[in-house]
Every structure is written in structure tokens, then in C-alpha cells.
Amino acid sequence: MLPPGLEPIEPLVPLPDRPLQVDVIKRTLPGLAVVSGTLSGVCHAPRPKGAAGQGEGDLLLAVNVWGSSLARQRDTELSLRDGDALFWTRSVAGLGIMRFTPAGFLGCRVARAEVAALLGRLDDTPMCFVPRDTEALQLLVTYARGIAESVPLATPELQRLAVSHMHDLMAAIVAATRGGRAIAEGRGIAAARLRAIMIDIRAHLGDGDLSVAEVAQRQRMTPRYVHKLFENEGFTFSSFVRDQRLAWAHRMLSDPRLADRTIGSIAFDVGFGDLSYFNRTFRRRYGATPGEIRRSALKGDHPRH
């Protein structure tokens, strides 16, 4: 008998004479399901069309993150090594992914209609191999892991944004297997690249000389392209850096454990070089001065945002 809680990730059938290991995390958002973990000694047999109930038109992607797996559909077999993946639609019958020894996996399921809207007509897709060096696949794995393993996305807006990016990356993967190129330069890849830039910026916020040129060099892009990625989302590189620094300062000022720190030292630590500019922009952003935020925190009041 399989351990409790496995049914939501599709039927798992134990393989004879193999030790069973199942360790999974599942995250479901409107229009997206992401599952990650480790499987061993099982055959993962996704329900085909007609047996799935809702989601019969879904597009599915299975990534063999590490270890080895064997995918089989009728007389066709595919060996999956570290980083390889395959995708298919519910219409594919008789598909099974066997994991004889421990293997890390990542699975994604999205509505086929959402991907078809980015690619045009998307017929029933047979089991299709996606090599590990596919750029869109690498980006999707990073993004999907963040969705599966991070804290829940708090707002419907963030959830919609995350799902939209996953749809884009799935479309990019489909296009790559077709030899397509247009979608690979579309908003799916752009969104993933912008996310990488944002992570880079947050890691270097304390650098008062942080510049778009430095970030672009680390990300192997041109400064012009970095600016364009931000502009496509309706804001700028400099405004993002400023707002991130203000948010960091707000968190520090709201922490009673940091009450012995001067406001000036906090401003400089988060990357502001001009205290007057910091005070002015902070008040404009939060409707209160840094000192007022600190006093509210020390009194146990909820700081204003």
C-alpha cells in the first residue's frame, strides 16, 4: 500500500522487488499544479484522457531533476538522466515513468488552452523528449521550484503572475522541441530573466554604487536589455532598486531589536548615500517619517505602509 496523500499526484504503482520511497511537495494555483520531490520503486502513471475528470486537456511536463528514470509508452522508451524532461497531453494513453532507484523529479500541469494561446494550434502531443540543455527548461525548473518550495503566494495578483510566467515557459519548451524560436525570445523567457535580475539586485542592495551596468555584466546581458525588461513591466531599474531599499529600511526600522541603530546608519546600510533623499522618499512611500515608523514599532503599534 502506498503512503497516505499520494492520490493527488496521479496514480503511483509500486514496482516489484524495489524499495519504495515517496517524498513529495505539491502546490496548486488556479491554472497550475507543481509537484516536486523524490520517488523510488514506483511507476508514475498519469491518468489519460477520459479517466482524469477535470483537466482532460492538460499539458504535462515531467523533469528528471537527478538520478535516472525510464519513460515508456507502448513500444517507445525514453531514458531520462539528470535534467532531462518530457511533456505530453492527457490524450496520450498508456504512458508510465518508472523510477527503479531514487530520483528527484519535478512535475507541472497546465491547461493546454493557455499554452495554445501563446503558440497557436496545439494538437494532441505525444510523449516528447526535452533535453537538459534547453534554456526554457532550465528556467522553468528554477521558477517551479520557487513556487513549490517557497511560502504560499499571498495575493491573487502574485498567483496570476506566477501562473502566467509558467504558461509562458511551458510554451517556450514546446516551441523549442518544435524548433521554434519566436516564443523563446518572448515574454516567458523575458519574465524569467527579469526575475533573475531582481534576485541579483536584492542580493546587492547594500552596495551604494549598485548600477545597471554591474547587474547586466553579472547576468551576461546589455544594460539596454535590462532597462527594456523593466520597462516592459511598467517601471524602471532605478525605481525598483529604490523601492527595494525603502522596504528593507522599513523592515529594519520596524524591528525593536534594532532600536539602537541610528536612522542614518540604517539608510546607509541599505544603500542610500544621501540621508535627506532617504527621508524624503521614505515619507513619500510610507506616509510617515522613519522616526515615526520606529516609534510605532517600539510602542507595539502596527506600522503604517
pLDDT over 90 for what percent of the chain? 27
- Neighbouring CB atoms inside 10 A of 209's CB total 8
For residue 2, the model assigns a pLDDT of 36
For residue 93, the model assigns a pLDDT of 67
Q: Is 47 exposed, middle or buried (0-12, 13-18, 19+ CB in 10 A)?
A: middle
Domain 248-299 belongs to what architecture?
Answer: Orthogonal Bundle (1.10)
Q: CATH homologous superfamily for 7-148? A: Jelly Rolls (2.60.120.10)
d(CA 169, CA 140): 6
For residue 57, the model assigns a pLDDT of 64
d(CA 161, CA 239): 20
For residue 215, the model assigns a pLDDT of 92
User: Between 278 and 146, whose confidence is greater?
Assistant: 278
Local structure of 118: helix, strand or coil: helix
Residue among 12, 61, 58, 60 at smallest CA distance from 39 = 12
pLDDT level of residue 182 (50, 70, 90 thresholds)? very low
Sequence ranges of the chain with CATH classification 1.10.10: 248-299
For residue 189, the model assigns a pLDDT of 66
Using the CB atoms, write b or e for 81-108: b if 16+ within 10 Å. eebbbbbbbbbbeebebbbbeebbbbbb
Cα-to-chain-centroid distance, residue 82: 19
Region of 67 on the Ramachandran plot (φ > 0 left; ψ -120 to 50 alpha; else beta): left
For residue 59, the model assigns a pLDDT of 85
Instruction: Tell me the C-alpha to C-alpha distance, in Å, between residue 9 and each of 12, 25, 136, 232.
Output: 8, 9, 24, 36
d(CA 93, CA 74): 9
Sequence ranges of the chain with CATH classification 2.60.120.10: 7-148
CA atoms within 13 A on the CB side of 175: 23
Whether residue 139 contacts residue 86, with contact meaning beta carbons closer than 8 Å, is answered with no
